[in-house]
């Protein structure tokens, strides 16, 4: 198991021990300050968004934290923004 996953589990466990609920969030793909309309970290069609990798990540996190009682939700992705926000796709 990678060190990153172990650290994530330790943080979530510590938060639970202090009665803090957790919502798992994949806010951006490329690390950095969020958010600008041109950072490529939006959603479908943006430069740094790979839907297959995103689904794999969601699946891994859901599996990793299944049954952890202080994990109360999971965010799908950051808000729509930028030139490729694909609003019409969201409405479908």
pLDDT tens for each residue of 27-71: 888 888 888 888 888 877 788 888 899 899 999 999 999 999 999
Cα–Cα–Cα angle for 23, 48, 57, nearest 5°?
40
Q: What is the pLDDT of residue 86?
A: 67
Residue 91 has pLDDT above 80, yes or no: no
Q: What is the pLDDT of residue 15?
A: 96
Contact indicator for 44, 10 with CB cutoff of 8 Å:
no
Residue 19 has pLDDT above 70, yes or no: yes
Contact indicator for 74, 23 with CB cutoff of 8 Å:
yes
> Which of 70, 73, 92 has its CA nearest to residue 26?
73
State the Cα–Cα distance between residues 9 and 81, nearest whole angstrom.
31
What is the pTM for the complete model shown? 0.76
């Amino acid at each position: 198991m990678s060190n990153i996953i172990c650290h994530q589990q330790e943080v979530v466990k510590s938060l639970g021990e202090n009665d803090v609920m957790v919502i798992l969030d994949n806010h951006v793909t490329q690390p950095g300050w969020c958010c600008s309309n041109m950072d490529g970290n939006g959603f479908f069609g943006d430069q740094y968004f790979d839907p297959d990798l995103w689904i794999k990540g969601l699946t891994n996190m859901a599996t990793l934290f299944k049954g952890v009682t202080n994990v109360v939700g999971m965010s799908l992705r950051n808000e729509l923004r930028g030139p490729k926000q694909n609003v019409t796709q969201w409405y479908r």
